Amino acid sequence: MSQNVVVIGGGPAGIEASRRLRDLGYTPILIEKTPVLGGHLARWDRLFPEGIEARTVLDPMVADLDGIKYFTETEVSSINRLKDTWVVKLSNGLSAQVRAILLTTGFDLFKAEKKEEYGYGIYERVITNADLEDWFKSGAAPQFDAVNVIGFVHCVGSRDEKAGNRQCSKVCCVTAVKQACEIKEKFPDATVYCFYMDLRMFGRKYEDLYLKAQKDYGIRFVRGRVSEVSEDNDGHLFVKAEDTLFGKPLKIKMDLLVLMAGMAPAADNHQLARMVNIQTGEDGFYLPQSIIGSPCTSSREGIFFAGAATGPKTLPETLSEAASAALAIDRYLKTPQKK
């Protein structure tokens, strides 16, 4: 019988790593706490930079789970060390004894209502990037009378000490540009603004997307962080920011404001870290042995990481890290056990 490996977290990292491990001859046990596999990707409509549909990536992955035992709506109750193995007890009553555990717990979308000054949850016309994807995906747009001016607020809960997240979430800049173009397609007459602190277009074709947004879509980029949002009697928004390049404060009346909620460490990280006695960093993400040399190995034997559990990552980065993690686990399991 082939050896079991427990993979905690059924997002793209967990699914991809499980498939790789299966291909290497192991039997992965994939645990997902929500009812569906796919993580945040399952909720997303289209992916940057080229705008392909998220399901074209996810569906083939989910269709290829033969040889993988997976449990949805299942959580880890406890993990204990027994000699050189880990005993993992699950909330569904099952338990597994394995030599390797892979943590692919991903990230939590920052709760935008925590930035009260933006009025998410208070003002109807303030939504998040995830809400917008829901809208694109389902086609069920919220009913607003006229949507003529639309704003995107970058760095909501990212690069923000007050929100408890100092890190850059990496993907929001390009997501905002992608979504700005998409919404411009839906409302061709609308004026669309992106309020950014710095535009981080680091990946291949990201800069092209930015250029297209400027040139073809006429998106207006304002370098300045939105400081507060108020509302008039009709529910229209007043957005305040400074145009830092021009050096003047702005107050723009808007019909829709999209908050680019960033990546926050998963809330369960601390609990899992305590179970297996590993460290999380000051930022709340897991600490690998080396973020350059061995991003998938932890400080504890038999505990591995992949994906956004160790910090914000793009989808391709997550997928390739899942593959590396599978190889790292394979090498570990093939190393003769020390007596």
Partner 1 sequence: MIDFGYGLTPSSTLKIENVANPAFEELRQREPDVAKCIACGSCTASCSAGVFTEMSLRRVILSLQRGREKETLPMLQHCMLCGKCLLVCPRGINTRHLILSIGKVYKMEEDR
Partner 2 sequence: MRERILAAYDPFVLPFVFGMTFVLAYCLIALVKVLLQLNAADRRKFALSLITPTTIVKNIRDIFCDCLLHVKLWKRNPVLGYMHSSIAFGWFMIIVIGHIETILYIPERLHRLYYPIFYRYFMEEQNTTLQGSFFFFLMDFFLLIILSGITIAIIKRFRSRIVGMRRTTKLTLTDRIGLYSLWAIFPLRWIAEGFTAGVAGGSFMTVPINWILHNFMSKPENITVAWWLYSIALGTFMTVLPFTRYMHIPSEILLVPMRNAGLPVRHTRKGFALTMLYSCPSCGVCIDACPMGVQKKNVKDATVYMVRNLKRRNQKRSLEIAEKCLMCGKCAALCQVQMDACGLRLAYRTAQEKKTNQIPADFSYLAAVEPIAPAVEPVALDDEKVLYYAGCMSSLTPVISRSVQKVLQSAGVRYELMDKDGSICCGRPLMLAGRQEEAQQLIAQNRKLIEASGARILLVSCAICYRIFKEHYALSGVQVWHYTEYFSRLIREGKLQLRNSHQTLVYHDPCDLGRGCGIYDAPRAALRTVGQLVPALKERKESICCGGSVGSLTLRYEDREPITRNAIDNLTANNPEAIVTACPLCLKTFGRFAPVPVFDFAQVLADNLE
Q: ∠ CA 285-44-164 to the nearest 5 degrees?
A: 30
155 binds, among partner 1, partner 2, none (CB under 5 to 8 A by kind): partner 1
Closest approach of Cβ 253 to partner 2, in Å?
13
236, interface contact from partner 1, partner 2, none, CB < 5-8 Å by kind: none
Q: Give residues 156-185 in contact with partner 1 (rule: CB under 8 A).
A: 159-163
Residue 228 sits in the site that holds partner 2 (CB under 8 A): yes
Stretch that binds partner 1, among 52-60, 201-209, 235-243, 330-338 (CB under 8 A): 235-243
**Quick one: which of 75, 131, 182, 231 contacts partner 2 (CB under 8 A)?**
231
226 binds partner 1 (CB under 8 A): yes
Helix (H), strand (E) at residue 303: strand 303-305
The answer to whether the beta carbons of residues 325 and 102 sit under 8 Å apart is yes
CA–CA gap between residue 292 and residue 288 (Å, rounded): 9
Q: What is the CA radius of gyration of the chain?
A: 22
Q: Is the dihedral of CA 109, 113, 115, 119 positive or negative?
A: positive
SS3 147: coil
Does position 155 bind partner 1 by CB under 8 A?
yes
CA distances from 267 to 95, 144, 272, 284, 309 (A): 23, 34, 10, 9, 11
243 touches partner 2 (CB under 8 A): no
Choice from 81, 137, 212, 240 touching partner 1 (CB under 8 A): 240
Helix ranges restricted to H, the chain: 12-23, 54-62, 129-138, 172-186, 206-215, 269-276, 315-334
CB of 249 to partner 2, least distance (A): 11
163 interacts with partner 2 by CB under 8 A = yes
* Between 205 and 253, CB nearer to partner 2: 253
Q: Which residue among 109, 190, 250, 327 contacts partner 1 (CB under 8 A)?
A: 250
Which of partner 2, partner 1, none lies near 159, with the C-beta cut-off 5 to 8 A by kind? partner 1
Helix (H, G, I), strand (E, B) or coil at 281: coil
Give the footprint of partner 1 on this chain (CB under 8 A): 117, 155, 159-163, 197-198, 223-228, 240-244, 247, 249-250
